[in-house]
Amino acid sequence: MPAPFPPQASTVDKNHGRIETRQLWCVPTDPKTMGLAGVAQVARIRCHIQQIRQGKVVKESDETRFAISSYWPQEATPERLLCLAREHWSIENGQYYRRDRTQDEDRCPVHETTAARNLSLFRSLAIFLFKRQASEKGRQKSLPDFERHIHRKPWGLIRRFTERRHDE
């Protein structure tokens, strides 16, 4: 349901067969009112997506998200908050694909906090090492290929971490 007053910021993006309209409403607040240290603004973001095929709208969806920010209104305008929210979700979606689709993180049965954090650190390390090897000769082209290669031949990676460098 749309908010009863005009949005303070909005964007329209047309690409990949979609038209996405984002609207933001925000209000300043304080940590005491919210019961949350550091909060300065609260925002409501509405995203209306139209899927386009052969020039016709074939599907529409609406999402409403809420966000909090530690930026005061003089530090981040509504337009800036909308841009920051978009950047956050593009990073989040990219991480989601790698972590859930490639590494199957959501189906991990570990629930103990320390063990779950450690597994998350190892997943992050795998992503970091994959990106780092991307410029090397004989590199693996995808994260699953890289992980399979390391599982089959771990000694090259172990050697990288255990050999002394000449510059030390």
> At 26, is the pLDDT very low, low, confident or very high (cuts 50, 70, 90)?
very high
Q: Which two tokens stand for residue 66?
A: 């809420």
For residue 3, CA distances in Å to 12, 20, 48, 104, 160 come to 18, 17, 13, 37, 56
- Band (2; pLDDT cuts 50, 70, 90): low
Which pLDDT value is given to residue 144? 83
pLDDT number for residue 61: 94
* Mean pLDDT to the nearest integer, 55-65: 92
90 and 128 fall within a common domain = no
Question: How confident is residue 28, by pLDDT bands cut at 50, 70 and 90?
Answer: very high
Long-range contacts at 152-161 (CB < 8 A, ≥ 24 apart) = 157/129
Q: Of 45, 73, 102, which residue sits at a domain end?
A: 102
User: Does 121 reside within a domain?
Assistant: yes
Q: pLDDT class for 34, splitting at 50, 70, 90?
A: confident
- Structural domains in the chain (count): 2
| Residue for token pair 């694909």 | 97
Residue with the bigger pLDDT between 100 and 61: it is 61
Within a domain: residue 70? yes
Tens-place pLDDT, residues 71-119: 999 999 999 999 888 887 665 556 666 777 677 777 778 878 888 888 8
The pLDDT value recorded for residue 96 is 64
Residue range of the domain that includes 32: 1-102
User: How confident is the model at residue 4, as a pLDDT?
Assistant: 60
- From 67, 42, 52, 55, select the one nearest 21 (Cα to Cα): 52
pTM summary value = 0.54
* Stronger pLDDT, 61 or 139, i.e. the higher one: 61
Structural domain includes residue 35: yes
Note whether residue 24 is domain-resident: yes
User: Is position 107 within any domain?
Assistant: no
Summary mean pLDDT of the chain: 83
Domain-embedded: residue 9: yes
Helix axes 113-133, 143-152, angle to 10 degrees: 100
pLDDT above 90 as % of the chain: 34
Q: Could you read off the pLDDT of 116-140 as tens digits, one per residue? A: 888 888 888 888 888 888 777 777 7
CA distances from 9 to 22, 26, 72, 80, 93 (A): 8, 9, 16, 9, 23
With respect to residue 37, please indicate whether it lies within any of the assigned structural domains. Answer: yes
CA atoms of 10 and 23, how far apart (whole Å): 4
